């Protein structure tokens, strides 16, 4: 009897070991298959550093609502050019040298777009359009020919490209027509891009969740870097190029950096991981829609909010001891509404969780910045404190989930 029981235990242990070995093999395969950002993708993003800088410069130069809206429109087209390439590079093997060449050539188009930003609505729209067309067409070529062996993905792309390529045509038409019609035609192009994504998102897409989340995190860091540059540029301009470092200057550098740190924390502390998990856990039929809504569409207000925040910081630290101007007030308010509001909406889309702390935070910030009669540097400092307090309250509400989930503790 004992011998029979021992044999059963041995068989059970053998099955368990075999199961563990299969699990290990599966995990090893997933690790091998997991895609990480390729150096060419990091290099590719650098042209957007310049483009974002030009958008900030465009808005700072005029202090005008119309120009700010045009800046948001430029950001939409820049964002969609970046997003199309992100989908393409997520889908294809980047070890192919010809594809790398096409990516590098497309960088010229984005570089050209960035350079044309300040005068895009005043005669140089055709150069902006030329850069957009080059970038979008090459991204489509890479996407199309790089997925021919993936029947499912290729079918989704076949439905996406014909609609999406209408947008570059509209951008060219708008540049040729010019005048007051130009921004409206470019707005129509941006709407077409979203419409193409909404249509294609109904199909099945093969999206590497880790790579997709990483790429969007990297472009967010690039935008946040622009906000840091804005603080440094403004303080240099305010003090003069020949001015040395003082305790007062160090204080202001610290205040400006703290504001950017709060923005970074709001995204990278937990949300990046949480949204990556949502994409990983989506069914095959829903992966494309989640990637589209959470990232391609949902991240646009956030990235624009960071760029607007950079504008607000530059304006605030040009005159740090004076109360903010009306322009500085509403650009800072708009930045936080876009950034925190965008995050709240994306979290609802991803997990059906309402981040009401962030909504309360942006309302408090909007009310305070709108009426505060104090030094601009103190306004930025208090804004930062409210953002951090908001995230602290949010962490307290979800502390049990965070502590129990190893993915959220990394």
In a domain, 61, yes or no: yes
Whether 227 and 56 have beta carbons less than 8 Å apart is answered as no
pTM for the full model?
Answer: 0.90
Domain match, 289 and 142 both = no
DSSP string, 51-119: HHHHHHHHHHHH--HHHHHHHHHHHHHHHHHHHHHHHHHHHS-TT-HHHHHHHHHHHHHHHHHHHHGGG
Distances (CA, A) of 112 to 47, 81, 304: 9, 13, 20
CA distance 242 to 76: 38
Determine the angle formed by the axes of helices 376-397 and 247-268, rounding to 10 degrees.
30
Whether 274 and 350 have beta carbons less than 8 Å apart is answered as yes
Phi, psi of 89 (to 5 degrees): -75, -20
Domain match, 106 and 166 both = yes
User: For residue 23, what pLDDT is reported?
Assistant: 45
User: For residue 147, what pLDDT is reported?
Assistant: 94
CA distance 365 to 355: 16
In a domain, 20, yes or no: no
Residue of higher predicted confidence among 2 and 295 = 295
* Residue with tokens 């190029």, as numbered in its chain: 241
In a domain, 13, yes or no: no
Residue 19 — very low, low, confident or very high, per pLDDT cuts 50/70/90? Answer: low
Domain match, 236 and 376 both = yes
Domain match, 221 and 202 both = no
In a domain, 89, yes or no: yes
In a domain, 321, yes or no: yes
Looking at the 3D structure of the chain, how many domains does it have? 2
CA distance 275 to 209: 9
DSSP string, 343-365: HHHHHHHHHS---HHHHHHHHHH
Domain match, 346 and 214 both = yes
Domain match, 74 and 217 both = no
Domain match, 202 and 212 both = no
In a domain, 33, yes or no: no
* Residue with tokens 């690039």, as numbered in its chain: 222
Domain match, 159 and 226 both = no
Provide mean pLDDT across the span 56-77.
Answer: 95
Provide mean pLDDT across the span 287-309.
Answer: 97
pLDDT over threshold 80, residue 277: yes
User: For residue 30, what pLDDT is reported?
Assistant: 43
Residue 328 — very low, low, confident or very high, per pLDDT cuts 50/70/90? Answer: very high
Residue 31 — very low, low, confident or very high, per pLDDT cuts 50/70/90? Answer: very low
Provide mean pLDDT across the span 279-300.
Answer: 95
pLDDT over threshold 50, residue 28: no
Buried b (16+ CB within 10 A) or exposed e, 150-177: eeebbebbeebbebbeebbebbbbbbee
Domain match, 53 and 200 both = yes
Contacts of 26 (CB under 8 A, 6+ apart): none
User: For residue 264, what pLDDT is reported?
Assistant: 98
> What's the domain range around 163?
39-206
Domain match, 288 and 353 both = yes
User: For residue 241, what pLDDT is reported?
Assistant: 72
Provide mean pLDDT across the span 22-34.
Answer: 47
Three-state SS sequence of 206-220: CCCHHHHHHHHHHHH
Q: Cβ-count burial of 230 within 10 angstroms (0-12 exposed, 13-18 middle, 19+ buried)?
A: buried
Domain boundary among 179, 206, 233: 206
CA distance 315 to 323: 11
The candidate with the shortest Cα–Cα distance to 136, out of 94, 160, 165, is 165
CA distance 58 to 70: 9
Domain match, 122 and 170 both = yes
Domain boundary among 145, 178, 206: 206
Q: Cβ-count burial of 301 within 10 angstroms (0-12 exposed, 13-18 middle, 19+ buried)?
A: buried
Average pLDDT, the chain: 91
Domain boundary among 206, 233, 256: 206
Domain match, 186 and 230 both = no
pLDDT over threshold 60, residue 4: no
pLDDT digits over 189-241, tens only?
999 999 999 988 888 999 999 999 999 999 999 999 999 999 999 999 988 77
Residue 26 — very low, low, confident or very high, per pLDDT cuts 50/70/90? Answer: very low
In a domain, 365, yes or no: yes
Residue 6 — very low, low, confident or very high, per pLDDT cuts 50/70/90? Answer: low
pLDDT over threshold 90, residue 387: yes
pLDDT over threshold 60, residue 343: yes
Distances (CA, A) of 238 to 62, 256, 321, 332, 337: 18, 14, 11, 19, 28
In a domain, 284, yes or no: yes
User: For residue 401, what pLDDT is reported?
Assistant: 84
User: For residue 409, what pLDDT is reported?
Assistant: 59
């Amino acid at each position: 009897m004992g011998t029979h029981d021992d044999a059963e235990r041995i068989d059970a242990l053998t099955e368990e070991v075999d199961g563990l070995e299969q699990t290990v093999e599966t995990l090893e395969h997933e690790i091998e298959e997991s895609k990480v950002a390729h150096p060419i993708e990091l290099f590719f993003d650098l042209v957007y550093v310049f483009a974002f800088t030009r958008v900030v410069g465009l808005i700072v130069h005029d202090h005008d609502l119309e120009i700010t809206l045009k800046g948001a429109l430029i950001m939409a087209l820049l964002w969609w050019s970046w997003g199309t390439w992100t989908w393409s590079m997520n889908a294809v093997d980047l070890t192919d040298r010809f594809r790398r060449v096409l990516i590098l050539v497309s960088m010229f188009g984005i570089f050209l777009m960035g350079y044309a930003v300040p005068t895009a609505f005043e005669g140089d729209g055709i150069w902006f359009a030329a850069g957009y067309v080059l970038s979008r067409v090459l991204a489509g070529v890479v996407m199309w020919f790089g997925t021919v062996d993936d029947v499912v993905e290729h079918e989704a792309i076949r439905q996406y490209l014909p609609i999406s390529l209408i947008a570059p045509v509209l951008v060219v038409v708008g540049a040729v027509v010019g005048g007051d019609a130009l921004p409206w035609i470019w707005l129509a192009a941006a709407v077409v891009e979203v419409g193409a994504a909404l249509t294609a998102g109904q199909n099945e897409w093969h999206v590497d969740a880790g790579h997709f989340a990483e790429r969007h995190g990297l472009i967010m860091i690039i935008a946040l870097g622009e906000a840091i540059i804005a603080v440094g540029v403004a303080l240099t301009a305010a003090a003069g190029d020949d001015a040395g470092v003082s305790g007062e200057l160090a204080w202001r550098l610290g205040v400006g950096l703290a504001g950017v740190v709060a923005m970074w924390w709001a995204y990278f502390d937990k949300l990046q991981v949480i949204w990556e998990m949502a994409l990983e856990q989506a069914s095959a039929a829903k992966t494309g829609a989640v990637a589209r809504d959470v990232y391609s569409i949902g991240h646009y207000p956030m990235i624009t909010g960071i760029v607007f925040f950079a504008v607000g910081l530059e304006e605030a630290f040009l005159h740090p001891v004076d109360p903010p101007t009306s322009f500085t007030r509403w650009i800072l308010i708009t930045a936080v509404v876009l950034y925190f509001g965008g995050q709240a909406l994306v979290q609802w889309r991803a997990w059906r969780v309402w981040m009401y702390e962030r909504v309360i935070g942006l309302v408090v910030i909007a009310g305070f910045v709108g009426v505060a009669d104090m030094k601009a540097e103190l306004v930025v400092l208090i804004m930062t404190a409210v953002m951090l307090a908001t995230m602290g309250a949010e962490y307290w509400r979800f502390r049990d989930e965070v502590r129990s989930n190893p993915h959220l503790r990394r």
